[in-house]
Each structure stands twice: as structure tokens, then as C-alpha cells.
Structure 1
């Protein structure tokens, strides 16, 4: 089980789907943080040891050079509809294995046809 924080630019159904798969997932909308800036959201990720799930490339830049961070799952899937974005996320996370990899210190980039894992 992984601990995720779903960013506001992800489809609203993302956190419930992740929870249905056994993950501990919160959504910034559920926490009344929809209008929070990236730094504030990332501080919460650090405080709660949650990996951010986002479509915002800025989170990848926030972690570069940081010796430790709870991880970033960055979706770069273009103009897919909400259901297809969630499906691609689930497919990619499932492909990473069970139990899931440790996301700590990593940037997982999910594209339409591949998944890349980088160490920040």
C-alpha cells in the first residue's frame, strides 16, 4: 500500500479509485486545499509522507536536488478524458509491481505508452 496525495489537476475520482485498490489516498479537494500553492501542497506531502499524484510538471522541479522527498507521480498523458487518465494511472501503478515500489526520492513519469522512474 502506498500513501498518495492527489493534486487538484487530476480527475476528481482519482483518490477513490486509489483507495479501492488498497492505497491510502487523499485529495487536495477533500482537504480544502484546492487553491493552495505547490509549495504548501508539497509541505503536506512531506509532513504526511505522501507521494503527490499530479499532472503539474512544477512538482518534478520542486524535488530536483532535494536529498529526500516523498516522491512524485507525474502524468504526462495529453488530452485524455478523466476516465482514461485514471485508467492509465492504475495501469502504470500496477505495472510497477505488488507490493508497490517505494516512491520516496523518485519521480515516476507516466506517459501514454511508457513509465519512467527517475531519482531526483
Structure 2
């Protein structure tokens, strides 16, 4: 299962469901680092060997271009169906052998990789 770091805006209900799927996921709030910048979130994820879960797609796409040697970015479309969001994330990352250096897009429907 994947090691994940949910950024500040990521839905808590989806985090909880991903945990029931067996993923090792923490939130930025749980680390005591709420309010840090997106680039610092990515740096912290790298230090912790975790992929970032975010709905802040544009900013993290830009960060990927600047720093492509990260531990993974899972960029999700904002989906108010938190169960569907978690199921889609699990389905996509479960097929990946590694998340390192990848940006994975998770949409409301079928998901794709960059």
C-alpha cells in the first residue's frame, strides 16, 4: 500500500476511507505543519517518503515541472463524493509499481497518469 501525505484542503472523509483500504496516510494538519506553502508540503513529503494527495492541481503541476524528482503527486479533481474520490485514488495507485516522480490525475470518472 502507498505512503501518502494529504495536503490541507484534501477531504478528511476520503483520507479516512483510504486508511481503511490499508494506505499509510497522514494529513499535513496531523504533522503540525498546517499553513505551510505548497513547495514546503512537497519537500516534507519527500523527507517522509510519501506521495502528496491534493486537490490543488495547478500549483502541484507547476511544482512537478520545477522539481520532478519527488515522491509522487496525486492531483485530484475536487469531488464532493468523498467515497468515489477515495475509491478512484485507490484504484489508480494500486496499479502503480512506484509513485516516485509521477503525477497522477484522479478525475471524477476514469483516472489518468501524466
Q: State whether TM-score is above 0.5.
A: yes
Give unmatched runs, 5+ long, in structure 2.
Answer: none
Structure 1 residue runs of 5 or longer lacking an equivalent are none
TM-score normalised over the length of structure 1: 0.82
CA distance in 2: counterparts of 1:112 and 1:38, whole angstroms? 23
Task: Call closer, same or farther: CA 1:97–1:25 in 2, change over 3 Å.
Answer: closer
Superposition CA RMSD, Å:
1.8
Q: What is the DSSP-based 3-state SS (H/G/I as helix, E as strand, rest coil) of the residue aligned with 2:105?
A: strand
Residue matched to 2:11 = 11
Task: Identify the structure with the greater helix proportion.
Answer: 2
Higher strand share: 1
Distance 2:38 2:113 in 1: 21
Structure-to-structure mapping, 1:1-120, within 5 angstroms: 1-57=1-57, 58-64=59-65, 66-77=67-78, 80-81=79-80, 84=81, 86-96=82-92, 98=94, 100-101=95-96, 102-118=98-114
User: Aligned residues, how many?
Assistant: 112
